[in-house]
Amino acid sequence: MTKAEKVQYVVDELERLYPETPVPLDHKDPFTLLVAVVLSAQCTDERVNQITPKLFAVADNPYDMAKMTVDEIAAIIRPCGLVPMKSKGIHSFSNTIVNDYNGEVPASFEALEAMPSVGHKTASVVMSQAFGVPAFPVDTHIQRLMFRWGFSNGKSVDQTEKDAKRLFARELWNKLHLQIIFYGREYSPARGWDLEKDYITSRIGRRSEIKKWEAEQERKAKKASQKKARR
């Protein structure tokens, strides 16, 4: 297949597998999504969804969040890790939203990325999922699969984002980035990767990655055979 045919194959398969793409982080508006995305750094979505109801029961808007102390926020979000940075960031950007944006999360990449603890990926998620602005947030799943599929060199998140935006139609970005994440979790994880299950990579993937997986299977089979022979 040509690269264009591979790209279309991926789009078609992901649409078949995941016609619906609910946002994995529970939220009710742009502010609660922003908080949840910040909490998700180096923390699973499942754990974030366990913590946010406790936090939002106390403060589900920037006004109430700004009234909390950093320590009060930290005590609730502790299971999510990176507590000092996240608690200070959430408290600080809540104040910014109240003081500079009349309590409304700004629908601007520049404004979002200027706030504490809000990087480009976080801003991209909020812009795409809260405001419907085309964006392609790159997480570890997308970084891994774009490389495995031979769509990017994997050298940087910035490059992967540029390659994804170049290869995939703009109108697909907001849904497609979630579809890739869902596929990565279900079929092509970083650990315990099984190429026999990961059928998209098996068909169109980077040859060096496929050979690496095959070599690992041969190594495991040889090791198991040697262990059996010693019994």
Mean pLDDT of 209-218: 93
- Which residue among 6, 60, 121, 163 is the active-site one? 121
Question: Per-residue confidence at 229, pLDDT binned at 50, 70, 90?
Answer: confident
Percent with pLDDT over 90 in the chain: 92
Q: Does position 227 have pLDDT exceeding 80, yes or no? A: no
pLDDT at 224: 81
Told to judge if 212 belongs to the known catalytic residues of this protein, a careful annotator would answer no
Q: What is the mean pLDDT of the chain?
A: 95
Told to judge if 71 belongs to the known catalytic residues of this protein, a careful annotator would answer no
Q: Does position 13 have pLDDT exceeding 80, yes or no? A: yes
pLDDT at 154: 81
| 71-115 pLDDT, tens digit each | 999 999 999 999 999 999 999 999 999 999 999 999 999 999 999
Q: Does position 206 have pLDDT exceeding 70, yes or no? A: yes
pLDDT at 155: 87
Which superfamily does CATH assign the domain made up of 30-129 to? Answer: Hypothetical protein; domain 2 (1.10.340.30)
CA–CA dist 199, 187 (Å, integer): 8
Question: Per-residue confidence at 222, pLDDT binned at 50, 70, 90?
Answer: confident
Q: Does position 230 have pLDDT exceeding 80, yes or no? A: no
Per-residue HEC secondary structure of 130-184 comes to CCCCCCCCCCHHHHHHHHHCCCCCCCCHHHHHHHHHHHCCHHHHHHHHHHHHHHH
Residue 189 has phi, psi (to 5 degrees) of -75, 165
Give the start-to-end residue ranges of the domains of the chain.
1-20+135-231, 30-129
Mean pLDDT of 23-47: 96
Q: Does position 145 have pLDDT exceeding 80, yes or no? A: yes
Spell out the long-range contacts of 44-49 with Cβ–Cβ below 8 A and sequence spacing 24 or more.
47/79, 47/80, 48/80, 49/24, 49/25
Q: Give the domain 1-20+135-231 fold.
A: Endonuclease Iii, domain 2 (1.10.1670)
- Which residue among 45, 88, 139, 175 is the active-site one? 139
| Spatial CA neighbour of 125 closest among 53, 206, 39 | 39
| Spatial CA neighbour of 180 closest among 209, 153, 201 | 201
| 150-197 pLDDT, tens digit each | 999 988 999 999 999 999 999 999 999 999 999 999 999 999 999 999
pLDDT at 225: 80
pLDDT at 231: 67
Q: At what angle do helices 83-101 and 70-77 cross, to 10 degrees?
A: 130
pLDDT at 221: 87
Residues in Cβ contact with 193 at an 8 Å cutoff, skipping those fewer than 6 apart: 213
Mean pLDDT of 131-146: 96
Q: Comparing 223 with 120, which gets the higher pLDDT?
A: 120
Q: What angle do CA 185, 182, 124 make, to 5 degrees?
A: 115
